[in-house]
Structure 1
Amino acid sequence: MRVALHSVLKEGQESGYEQVHATVPEDLLEALRRAGITNWRIWRSGRHLFHLVDCEDFPAAMAALDKDPANQRWQEFIGAYVDHFEDTGGSPAESERMALGEVWELSTQTGAAEHG
């Protein structure tokens, strides 16, 4: 499963956010792996961050991370940089409200056209 997220940085924290992500703590990397996350990429445009998360089960991964001390420490630390994650207004589950809805994918369309 691949999930896209959108968060917004606090004013003036753009370069600091990138600096702290130059080397993410090893215990956080291990927590992400334990939660079933195989990859997490982040792009930035101004104060807006766009995340692409690869995992088996996003709600389960987020629930596991919520309980993990390494992630709790990271969230407390990174809160100085991140203002908020956008709420997409989806399901009542917080992790599902964070996920952006997919609009279009080239490979899906071209694959359907080739087989249809």
Structure 2
Amino acid sequence: MRIALHSVIVDGSIDQYRSRHARIPDDLRALFAEAGIHDWTIWRSGRNLFHVVDCADFDRAMSVVESAPANAAWQKDIGRFVEGFYGPDGEVGFLPIERVWSLEEQNRTAP
């Protein structure tokens, strides 16, 4: 399962956000593995961040991650630099953004 997320960096916090992501804490990395998160990639365009999460089951993964002390510590640190997460229609919250099209899927289903 591949899920895309969108967040925004607090103005003036790009360098701090980058430095915190140079290497995430080992306990958080272990938590992601426990939660079934295989990869999490982040791209930046200006203050906008685009995340792609590869996982077995996103809802299950988030239920494991959200209740863990390692995540609470990470959110306390990284949260200072993130204005918020936004869903597909701009609503505030940790919601996947809409996938519109995939070349891979089209190629797989093409006649």
Q: Kindly provide the amino acid, as one letter, of the partner of residue 33 in structure 1.
A: A
Aligned-residue offset at 1:40:
0.3
Aligned counterpart, 1:18: 18
Whether the 8 Å contact between 2:5 and 2:87 is mirrored in structure 1 is no
Match of 2:65 in 1: 65
In structure 2, stretches of 5+ residues that fail to align are: none
Q: Mapping of 1:4-43 within 5 angstroms?
A: 4-43=4-43
Q: 1:100 deviation in Å?
A: 1.0
Q: Secondary structure at the match of 1:79?
A: helix
Q: Secondary structure at the match of 1:75?
A: helix
Distance 1:110 1:25 in 2: 38
Q: Partner residue of 1:107?
A: 104
The CA RMSD measured in Å over matched residues stands at: 1.3
SS of corresponding position for 2:23: coil
**Aligned residue pair count:** 108
Runs of 4+ in 1 over 6 A off after TM superposition: none
Point out where structure 1 has 5 or more consecutive residues left out of the alignment.
none
Using structure 2 for the length normalisation, give the TM-score. Answer: 0.91
Equivalent residue letter for 2:55: C
CA apart distance, 1:79: 0.8
Deviations 1:21-61 (A, max 9, x none): 00111011011111110100000111100000000110111
